[in-house]
């Protein structure tokens, strides 16, 4: 099995279509420009133009927007197998920022790489757009959750959805999954208040 055949993105796309050798070869080329990013340092900034897209190979990332008053709202989390910035590449401007939650490995994909891949393998393009549409549908559910579900239902739906996404790329099962998200990440994403710990003072 070639490395790209076992990659998280290939696992994800294979849930939609069985990829041919030619399509796997194109995917391998898309994975060719490897980069590493440290936790806490943005991979892309809101408003940035001519930004590359990334295929996340290892690690977790959050996408967020900065509001006019300077506050941050996490809009989604990305896990291995996800495309980061696909919409921004096509629209030529990033409408949000990406921040690694842990150190990550990703393949940088330039606009020219993406357009060439789509022209060479239309079926692969369809599979990538299927994956992007599936992720977009989850973001819509996330928005509904913030607006209409109570805190418990919001958290439960999010964790189950996350488990489903991780299972698709072989990183989760019915028994559970590893998750690096803190209560502050969850609170920011789900519109909840983070629990704050206050040390006791005084003498016993």
Residue 1 lies in a domain: no
In this structure, what are the phi and psi dihedrals at residue 11, rounded to the nearest 5 degrees?
Answer: -60, -45
93 falls within a domain: yes
pTM recorded for the entire structure: 0.84
The domain spanning residue 51 has which CATH number?
Answer: 2.60.120.10
State how far the Cα of 35 lies from the Cα of 104, in Å rounded to an integer: 9
Does any domain span residue 3?
no
Query: Do the domain assignments include residue 91?
Result: yes
Domain count of the fold of the chain: 1
The pLDDT tens digits for 5-61 are 889 999 999 988 899 999 999 999 999 999 999 999 998 888 777 778 899 999 999
Q: In what order do the strands lie in the sheet with 104-109?
A: 34-37, 104-109, 53-58, 83-84
Q: How far, in Å, are 10, 46, 85, 194 from residue 127 at the CA level? A: 10, 27, 17, 38
204 within domain boundaries: no
Give a yes or no: residue 202 inside a domain.
Answer: no
Position with higher pLDDT, 87 vs 171: 171
Task: Kindly state whether residue 198 falls inside one of the protein's structural domains.
Answer: no
Asked whether residue 162 is domain-assigned, the answer is yes
Span 97-150, pLDDT tens digits: 899 999 999 999 988 888 899 999 999 999 988 888 888 887 777 777 676 778
Domain containing residue 79: 8-190
> pLDDT tens across 58-80, in order?
999 999 988 888 888 888 899 99
CB 85 within 8 A of CB 132: no
């Amino acid at each position: 099995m070639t490395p790209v055949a076992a990659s998280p993105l290939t696992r994800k796309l294979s849930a939609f279509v069985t990829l041919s050798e030619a399509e796997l070869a194109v995917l391998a080329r898309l994975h060719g420009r490897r980069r590493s990013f440290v936790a806490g340092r943005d991979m892309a900034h809101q408003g940035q133009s001519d930004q590359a897209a990334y295929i996340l190979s290892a690690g977790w990332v959050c996408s967020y927007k900065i509001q006019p008053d300077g506050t941050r709202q996490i809009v989604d989390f990305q896990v291995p197998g996800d495309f980061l910035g696909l919409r921004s590449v096509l629209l030529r401007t990033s409408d949000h920022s990406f921040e690694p939650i842990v150190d990550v490995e990703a393949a940088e994909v330039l606009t020219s790489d993406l357009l060439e891949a789509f022209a060479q393998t239309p079926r692969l393009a369809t599979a990538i757009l299927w994956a992007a549409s599936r992720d977009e549908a989850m973001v819509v559910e996330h928005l509904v959750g913030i607006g209409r579900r109570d805190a418990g239902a919001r958290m439960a739906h999010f964790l189950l959805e996350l488990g489903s996404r991780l299972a698709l790329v072989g990183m989760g099962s019915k028994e559970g999954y590893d998750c690096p998200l803190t209560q502050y990440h969850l609170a920011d994403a789900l519109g909840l208040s983070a629990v704050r710990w206050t040390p006791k003072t005084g003498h016993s």
